[in-house]
Chains A and B, each alone.
Chain A
Amino acid sequence: GQNIDQPTEMTATEGAIVQINCTYQTSGFNGLFWYQQHAGEAPTFLSYNVLDGLEEKGRFSSFLSRSKGYSYLLLKELQMKDSASYLCAVRDSNYQLIWGAGTKLIIKP
């Protein structure tokens, strides 16, 4: 079967750095996405990786290793507004998105 694993919950301190990991086992690979979802709101797009390596976008970076079936989302200079769930999703060989259950990130002052 297809599977996306990410930690259920993480806690970090305002101003610090946090890394959210995502491992996947899917039928083929056609890209990996990270979305942010604040409580009670819609998911919003953060990043897209299709080739190995690091993609940087401001305070957020996303890394992909296709050979290891692994990605991480790195958040720097954490702000209270970064408290949210972070969803990892992989597009498989049928171009369907497989979603992880999400990682709830709690930021403490």
Chain B
Amino acid sequence: IAGITQAPTSQILAAGRRMTLRCTQDMRHNAMYWYRQDLGLGLRLIHYSNTAGTTGKGEVPDGYSVSRANTDDFPLTLASAVPSQTSVYFCASSDSKTGANVLTFGAGSRLTVL
């Protein structure tokens, strides 16, 4: 089934630990994104990648890093987790060459940092 796969679905981890959220898409979309969603706030962009080999910072990049070694994979790493990074994380992709550039989202990863 075409789409985006995120892992893990949920995770609880201690502050200071390193964590990588995985994201894989099979739609051959050139652009990929990581958002966080917090209660009462709109989706906030953490990092994005317009094409394999390139990445860019979004609205809230501090404490997060990404890599885009190939078209399909776009992992998000928290080098040293802090409680304020407790959130639901959504990976998304799009074919940015099309006019509307509609985003397709993964099912999300719920992260709790204690």
Contact = CB atoms under 8 A, between A and B. Distances in A.
A44 B100 contact: no
A101 B42 contact: yes
A43 B104 CA distance: 8
A96 B107 CA distance: 22
Contacts of A87: 42-43
Interface residues of A, number: 22
Contacts of B108: 41-42
Chain B interface mostly helix, strand, loop or mixed?
loop
A43 B90 contact: yes
B42 A44 contact: no
Interface residues of B, number: 18
B53 interface: no
Contacts of B105: 42-44
Given A43-B105, A44-B105, A96 B90 contact: no
A48 interface: yes
B45 interface: yes
Given A31-B100, A48-B102, A97 B45 contact: yes
Interface of B: 40-45, 58, 90, 99-108
24 contacts: A4-B42, A31-B101, A41-B107, A41-B108, A42-B90, A42-B105, A42-B107, A43-B103, A43-B105, A44-B105, A45-B102, A45-B103, A45-B104, A48-B102, A87-B42, A95-B101, A96-B45, A96-B58, A97-B43, A97-B45, A97-B103, A99-B42, A99-B44, A100-B42
